[in-house]
Amino acid sequence: MGERTVVLGVIGADVHAVGLRVLDYVLRNAGFDVVNIGVLSSQEDFIKAAIESGARAILVSSLYGHAELDCKGFKEKLKEAGLEDIILYIGGNLGVGQKDWNEVEKKFKDLGFHRVYPPKTSPEDVVRDLKKDLGLE
């Protein structure tokens, strides 16, 4: 794997897979090497996949509204695993009864995520941002 390798998955007790499949397809068509760990994934699953594949980015999806709970301490675990420089994205329905989006975005940036996407974000926006953040443009 290499500079275009990313890990993609749904964190926590979430089984929403349709968006994950769409993102996987779009990323592959954009030339990325995708390690899709699927649904019901723990922080450790993401970390293990990133280490094994040499990924440069982790893309976390969550639609069931409990992402904050699922992602607490994730950045610290990444640092402990030697992945402090990995690019970290999250998107979806990140909170139950999502409040003000700016508040939600700030909360996840404070948790260490580089980019935070609301529901209905175009996959092409993610590809554009990923190319930019990985210096592939």
Q: What is the CA radius of gyration of the chain?
A: 13
pLDDT over threshold 90, residue 99:
no
Q: For this structure, is 16 an active site residue?
A: yes
Give catalytic status of residue 14 as yes or no: yes
Q: What is the pLDDT of residue 125?
A: 97
- Structure confidence at residue 98 (pLDDT): 62
Amino acid present at 13: A
**DSSP symbol at 86:** -
Determine the pLDDT at residue 11: 97
Query: Can you give the pTM of this predicted structure?
Result: 0.96
- The enclosing H or E element of 53 equals helix 43-53
- 114 annotated as ligand-binding: no
Query: Is 63 labelled a binding residue?
Result: yes
Handedness of CA 84, 89, 93, 97 (dihedral sign): positive
Q: Which of 16, 33, 129, 133 is catalytic?
A: 16
CA angle 75, 25, 115 (to 5 degrees): 30
- Residue 69 annotated as lining a ligand binding site: no
**Annotated binding residue 55:** no
pLDDT in tens, 79-98: 999 999 999 999 999 987 76
User: Does the pLDDT of residue 103 top 70, yes or no?
Assistant: yes
